Amino acid sequence: MSHAMSGPRSAPAVPPSTPLPAHGPAPAAGASGYRGTALVTGASSGIGAAVVRRLAAEGGWRLVLSGRDEARLARIAGQASGTAFAADLTRPGAEARLTRFALDRWGRVDLLVAGAGIGWAGAFGSMPAADLDEVIDVDVRATLRLVRQVVPHMVAAGGGRVVLIGSLAGVVAVRDEAVYSAAKAALAAFADALRYELAPTGVRVTHVVPGVVDTPFFDRRGTPYRRARPRPVPPERVADAVWRAVTRDRDEVFVPGWLSLPARVRGAAPGLYRRLAARFG
């Protein structure tokens, strides 16, 4: 997962309770191949970039990309025939400016894939306070604030889908990743709660739970991945899971699928799971 940060863009903040006017009705599904407008964060690398490539390959999507690296984001947007909006989503009002940009451009957002995120590995007691704040700000606060901006417009339009890119660390917890595990656990709980809340509105919420993904994520967190299992999977595999979730109306998807097993063991036999986790990490 990539950390969605970059320079500011000027646009007025939009209160989350005030839907922006749509620019006319969207084309009917299937008309001239139209599927909808997708907003993808963390799109300058890793999972986010892979999701953009997958949506572009499927065709019919109007793509709005947000990420930290402006040059890389512009390159990916060009390859995918999308529109780039570089933004640091932890800055005040950035989520409103991004939402305004997407709606001014296309009039609606049918799919939000929240892929921006960062990690940190090491003993909790040695974690600098600034890094603790940054993980929570990027992985939790920025995502929730963006969802809070986008969802009212989906509700007003009568439907849409929010895809939250979580982590296995947030489902089972991982040694030496206490804050990252806590941040992703918060996203998992948020996904469930929001899904129940939005059920009558036609807006769907999907939680995608990757294990280890072969992206620059581990380089950026400062500690390489050394475990034998689970083995890293390419980001394209996560993008495939996002596509399946969108097309098959899935609430939760693990990547790879067998990772749902430790999650089930933890829920059904927490004592056994904790003993195994204490031994194997």
Farthest CA pair distance, the chain: 58
Q: What share of the chain is helix, strand, coil (3-state, %, to 5)?
A: 50, 15, 35
Say whether 225 is catalytic: no
Give me 205's structure tokens. Answer: 């919420």
8 A C-beta contact, residue 153 and residue 20: yes
Alpha-carbon Rg for the chain, nearest whole angstrom, is 18
Kindly report the number of other CB atoms within 10 A of residue 169's CB atom: 22
Q: How far apart are CA 64 and CA 213, in angstroms?
A: 23
**146: Cβ–Cβ under 8 A, 6 or more apart, which residues?**
41, 89, 95, 98, 99, 112, 114
**237: Cβ–Cβ under 8 A, 6 or more apart, which residues?**
213, 255, 256
* E strand intervals along the chain: 36-41, 61-66, 83-84, 111-114, 160-165, 203-210, 252-255
User: Which of 112, 192, 110 lies closest to 154 in space, CA to CA?
Assistant: 110
Please give the DSSP secondary-structure letter assigned to residue 222. Answer: T
* Catalytic residue, candidates 180, 196, 225, 273: 180
Please list the active-site residues: 180
